[in-house]
Amino acid sequence: MGLSISDAVVKRPIEALARTKEALPEKPPMVLAKAISGASEILIGMEKIFKLIKCIYENTHTEGKEGVFLLGCGNWRLTVIGDSVILGRLDPSYFIILNTKDHTLSVKSRDLEVRIDGTSLYIIKGGSVIEISLNNVEDIEEKSMIFNALSRYVKMMIATTYDKLLKCVKVLGIPCEGI
């Protein structure tokens, strides 16, 4: 039996942020509004990557097999180990790690990682970890300055990863509808 990949991985943080948006005052401080908007864009990008990795896994993986499988497009490989699906390049430039048991999704480049875990968004750069509780307005506001400074790089990394994965899907001829 193959892994069960639940949409809860991306739905929980998106729903948490939506509830937070509803709790905002009518005119929130600009820095807070920018942080909420940036987090929303990051989560949308993570959701797109999640859909691609799920589609690639479901269309290329032989059920019940663990191991490393070369995909034949742009040096990407699919690794299935235990509860994890890892999509990465042969050079260590990009890795996407989906843990189906813990419902976590990480997107890593050489020097930057973004992870969603339940209702938290993590940005890891140069050994520093910023955890943002997406269902807590005060936490987002408190960390908004540093988050806003990094969010542009995070969004670029997510967009680049998504574009590379989408090219792979097209080369493989995988029918990933609505992505």
pLDDT higher than threshold 60 for residue 40: yes
Give SS3 for 121. strand
- 141 neighbors 25 (Cβ within 8 angstroms): no
Average pLDDT, the chain: 87
Distances 124 to 3, 17, 79, 128 between C-alpha atoms, Å: 27, 20, 23, 6
Residue 78 φ/ψ, nearest 5 degrees: -110, 125
Tens-place pLDDT, residues 82-132? 888 888 887 777 889 999 888 899 999 888 999 999 899 999 998 889 999
Q: Is the pLDDT of residue 44 over 90?
A: yes
Helices (H), the chain: 8-23, 30-60, 137-142, 144-172
pTM over 0.85: yes
Instruction: Give 176 or 30, the one with higher predicted confidence.
Output: 30
- What is the per-residue pLDDT for 174? 86
**How many C-beta neighbours within 10 Å does residue 38 have?**
20
The answer to whether the beta carbons of residues 137 and 69 sit under 8 Å apart is: no
pLDDT digits (tens, 9 = 90+) for 130-168: 999 999 989 999 999 999 999 999 999 999 999 988 888
